[in-house]
Structure 1
């Protein structure tokens, strides 16, 4: 089991938020914002919701930045209109309390309307509803307000600016760390690796720069040993291009958020191979394994080649399929 990195914590927290509704979403977002603003020496206050929040779900004292946080129990057909109505009602009432009743410093600079859209994007705002009403309210109070309508992506951005200790603290407070599968891999991660590899293939094809050759580990005997003779030409051609995979690995290892990305992908492929090899062998096993990886590039069959390169790289490193023991001894001596 490997240690969690920033990517793990961020994905875990964001996924949990998307599945949370009503007051629980507001409380969790508030905890995240409070810890974030504390880390940058600012004050985030969150009114006690049980006593009525007066349309203020939280505010940053130094910035006069106010949050309204909305997470419906389900996304209905009327979601777009519901979202607009809540924005206008809450923003209007908040401004009334600030400017007419002297609450919270008697001034507002920015209003952030943070909505949990669960697994969807924000509804379109082609008519400029939010901007229009922000400007109307500004005219009413003789002010020019900033506004932002956003979703959990806003919290993701905040989390990316926190250090790993802060992320650990948040995951502990939200009681999330214990449910994390350290070795899990998301479809997004697999696709990013496949897509990145595809980009490097294209770069190599159209570049005049000579890449260094790949130091092969396996031998032709491994192909024969695993009854893959009919795939021999394909495998040999792939092995000649494995310097592309090594270049890709070097690049993604520089990802500060997710330093273990390739090892997760590699572990998934090995695990899939181990499962399939219980009932399959030879060409059938080879094709099925590649088919499982290609599923992550659904509707984009132009990514078949990078999928195969991934499998062949792990094949050549002798992590999958039966090893040619003679060659392995020579390599390890």
Structure 2
């Protein structure tokens, strides 16, 4: 249910917190009146921070930022085969985040929490003299499902992706070019975690595609001690006619990349893009992903394998 919040949201930090109570878990958040919450049952937990000009441009509407800070964490939880249940939020807000901005942010939180099935446990708010910084911590439950880990890939597994690759990179390109209303820009601002893939059978190693398809497949390979072939001709690119290298290295797709036992059917909407071809590989192998495809695309992709902070 949407509510008009701007008229009643004041500059007070405590009024802002009060306006979040409708999103809280009444059994554990304790109305946000105590210094801590009680801990609900959980099998997995993750945290991600979004920093202005690093993870987002700063021109996005607050509704989109509220969605994204939860979505990127929910995607991590889904990559472990768990259903996200609870979240904590830490917000460092510069002066530009006025009462209207905060009202929009809460509106976005309401929609995202409803869509992801999340309840808030608490968090922290502070004034930032620098950029806008948003952090969420999300917990999840397995509910009897098998835990997926990056270390589960085995020789002979198929390499699969959960959907189109490259929308994040192309969306960022559109945003930088002042085109915030394209479908790609919408995906960059409001990614959709693959909740529909929960419980898929036969999954070996799994990760969400946040750093880039090549980089995140490499994470699986290193954790599993394997090498994999990635066939660029088989990748379902968001724009097949655009720069393939940018699309497989740009990140921000929040699809799943996973290995699948060779005798298991491919989940609906997913595509086979390669195979695990070698095991017993050193975990720190320089590049455990072998690229196959047009020479120019392979050479371009090899020069930039994905996003890194340092």
| TM bracket (short chain) | under 0.3
Q: Larger relative contact order (C-alpha < 8 A, sep ≥ 6)?
A: 2
Which structure has the greater CA radius of gyration? 1
Normalised by the size of structure 1, how large is the TM-score? 0.22
Normalised by the size of structure 2, how large is the TM-score? 0.23
Structure with the largest fraction of strand: 2
